[in-house]
A and B are shown apart, each in its own frame.
Chain A
Amino acid sequence: MELQELKTTVSQVRRDIVRMVHACQSGHPGGSLGCADLVTALYFNVMKINEKKGSDGFLQFSREGEGEDLFFLSNGHISPLFYSVLARRGYFPVSELATFRKINSRLQGHPATHEHLPGIRVASGSLGQGLSVASGAAYAKKLKKDDSTVFVLMGDGEQQEGQVWEAVQFAPHYKLDNLIAIVDWNKQQIDGPTDKVMNNRDIKAKYEAFGWATVDLADGNDLQQVLDAIAKAKQLRGQEKPIVILMKSEMGAGVDFMMHTHKWHGTAPNDEQLAKALEQLPETLGDY
């Protein structure tokens, strides 16, 4: 997908996020908006996925994903982003986004496989588990001699979980150089700035010390930079080290009043705020 087309897709994804969170008056818009460029780029430009469609017109999804690149969302609270990207990519009807967080929906508050939503491979939301699961999947690809890549996105607040560091230790031990992790380093978490809540200090130095190859992404809300960082990470494959992209991003990116604060981590906009947000996010592909 050309950069301009990708930009228009991201704009629609951001609209979806804000509208979904508004419709159920709950959910996490901040991190969803901040990671919108990355996750859209992965699904529309980077990842090799099965393009075959079923008789219902939607992409055929196999949980195993043999021969496909896999994406795991560890910070499951940014589910509005994940759902919007999956729907826009063709895994399920875009109209289903209207059911987010509502009763009898496949679009649970946090991603789940339990209701069989195509595109989801594991439940997430209780933080700190995604890197372990992605490491297991990367290990399996090595066993099967499947040369595709496993991506996993985590939050920076999530780096406070001890299990993350168990997995950070595991992946280099088994030389999982088919694993690309991304840390959304937006320096905000639900209780406030990450430095104040629990200082992560130098995440990059920690990953390096554990034996990872690192890639800096100075602005995770600049699509060209996002694409360049992923390309660089992919070039580092095959060197017996897992790769981490340290993505500096802005929570709430794309909606001016949701930026530069942790306030919109887990708060839904009211009607007036929704209107104000949507003014800044052009409808490019048609609202659901």
Chain B
Amino acid sequence: MAELGKLNPNVVALCADLVASLKLDAFIKDNPERFIQCGIAEANMIGVAAGLAISGYIPYATTFANFGSGRVYDQIRQSVAYSGTNVKIAVSHAGLTLGEDGATHQILEDLAMMRAMPEMTVINPCDYNQTKAATIAVADYQGPVYLRFGRPVVPVFTDADQKFEIGKAWMVNEGKDVSIIATGHLVWEAILAGELLEKEGIDAEIINIHTIKPLDEEAILKSAAKTKCVVTAEEHQLNGGLGDAVCQLLSRNTPTPVEMIGVNNSFGESGTPAQLMEKYGLNAASIVEKVKKVMSRK
């Protein structure tokens, strides 16, 4: 946000009492007049953002994913998506790996909600560099965006100077035996899984889908046509997320066996991110297991 503040004088940041968590300090220091503290009042924050967008600004409404999706669904629906206001909803701490705060804060349904909303673009980057690139890139896109970040510290494995293209999948590794289609920090787990599989002689294709909507259908269909089986991985409910989107695409075009990594119709709980990822099967070991299962279904 600090860099974007320098690049684009129309960018305005809003926050609902989580400035430190969202790491907005540098932006605020440089652009005090372009920062609007909204207090713990997220519904109003979305409306204020819509009003700023109508007036030609590019507002980034920021909070935790839990408070920037379900809590304000109707405000986003009417004042942002249906009204076509150029609001960027940039939310952090999505999913289980928010950790110790527990299920009240661990939103696992937000991708489903935002995917279902007409005219909403949904982005879930995988590491620091991709997050930075996406944050800067969406300012140049005219229209509402839901930009979702995780909390866990994962290695930075994408290029610092990458060009972020909305709706364009990133081929992490080409392979021929199975397609692992992952989003968010599960991409790192997919890379680890790929290394484990390689030792067992399985050549996995790994694709990063950072844009859940619009989905890069071409990249997914092409990969599935080659490998004939797919594993999806995301930190989200199995219902309504990336896995569902991929299944819908495949079943309408080339029915292909799919196994899905995600949370299966349950709430989360307190724990460290690593403990939670293991307990809920959101790690490399689970991906390896699903790969073997889906390959046996070919």
Residues of A within 8 A of B (CB): 63-66, 112-114, 121-126, 128-141, 143-144, 162-163, 166-167, 169-170, 173-174
Query: Judging by beta carbons under 8 Å apart, are B79 and A129 in contact?
Result: yes
Q: Does B33 contact A (CB under 8 A)?
A: yes
Query: Judging by beta carbons under 8 Å apart, are A122 and B85 in contact?
Result: yes
Chain B interface residue number, banded: 20 to 34
Query: Judging by beta carbons under 8 Å apart, are B56 and A136 in contact?
Result: no
Identify 19 residue pairs between A and B in the complex whose beta-carbon atoms are under 8 Å apart, listed by A's number. A64-B55, A66-B55, A114-B82, A122-B50, A126-B74, A126-B78, A129-B47, A131-B47, A133-B51, A133-B79, A134-B51, A135-B47, A136-B48, A137-B52, A140-B56, A166-B44, A170-B39, A170-B48, A173-B39
Query: Judging by beta carbons under 8 Å apart, are B56 and A132 in contact?
Result: no
Q: Choose one: A125, A126, A132, A139; the contact of B46 (CB below 8 Å).
A: A132
Q: Does B83 contact A (CB under 8 A)?
A: yes
A52 to chain B, nearest CB (A): 19
**7 more CB-based (< 8 A) A-B contacts, given A121-B54, A136-B50, A139-B51:** A64-B55, A132-B46, A133-B54, A136-B51, A137-B52, A139-B36, A170-B39
Residues in A whose Cβ lies below 8 Å from that of B56: 64, 66, 140
Query: Judging by beta carbons under 8 Å apart, are A138 and B74 in contact?
Result: no
Residues of B within 8 A of A (CB): 12, 33-34, 36, 38-39, 41, 43-57, 59, 74-75, 77-79, 82-85
In angstroms, Cα B119 to Cα A114, docked, is 11
Query: Can you list the 6 inter-chain pairs with the closest CB atoms, starting with the nearest?
Result: A136-B51, A132-B47, A140-B55, A166-B44, A166-B41, A136-B48
| Nearest opposing residue in chain B for A132, CB measure | B47
Residues in B whose Cβ lies below 8 Å from that of A132: 43-48, 50-51, 75, 79
Q: Choose one: A125, A137, A144; the contact of B51 (CB below 8 Å).
A: A137
| Nearest opposing residue in chain A for B14, CB measure | A136
In angstroms, Cα B41 to Cα A169, docked, is 10
A113 to chain B, nearest CB (A): 5
Most chain B CB within a 10 A radius of its CB, from A66, A113, A129:
A129
Given A114-B84, A122-B85, A123-B83: A163 and B47 interface contact (C-beta under 8 Å): yes
| Nearest opposing residue in chain A for B85, CB measure | A122
In angstroms, Cα B90 to Cα A217, docked, is 42
B253 to chain A, nearest CB (A): 30
Q: Choose one: A113, A124, A141, A173; the contact of B84 (CB below 8 Å).
A: A113
Query: Judging by beta carbons under 8 Å apart, are B54 and A135 in contact?
Result: no
Residues in B whose Cβ lies below 8 Å from that of A169: 39, 41, 44
Residues in A whose Cβ lies below 8 Å from that of B36: 139, 174
Query: Judging by beta carbons under 8 Å apart, are A136 and B47 in contact?
Result: yes
In angstroms, Cα B3 to Cα A195, docked, is 52
B183 to chain A, nearest CB (A): 29
In angstroms, Cα B34 to Cα A133, docked, is 17
Query: Judging by beta carbons under 8 Å apart, are A136 and B78 in contact?
Result: no
Residues in A whose Cβ lies below 8 Å from that of B33: 143
Q: Choose one: B39, B50, B51, B82; the contact of A112 (CB below 8 Å).
A: B82
In angstroms, Cα B70 to Cα A63, docked, is 28
Query: Judging by beta carbons under 8 Å apart, are A133 and B50 in contact?
Result: yes
Residues in A whose Cβ lies below 8 Å from that of B78: 123-126, 129
In angstroms, Cα B52 to Cα A64, docked, is 9
| Nearest opposing residue in chain B for A143, CB measure | B33
In angstroms, Cα B49 to Cα A133, docked, is 7
In angstroms, Cα B52 to Cα A136, docked, is 5
Residues in A whose Cβ lies below 8 Å from that of B47: 129-133, 135-136, 163, 167
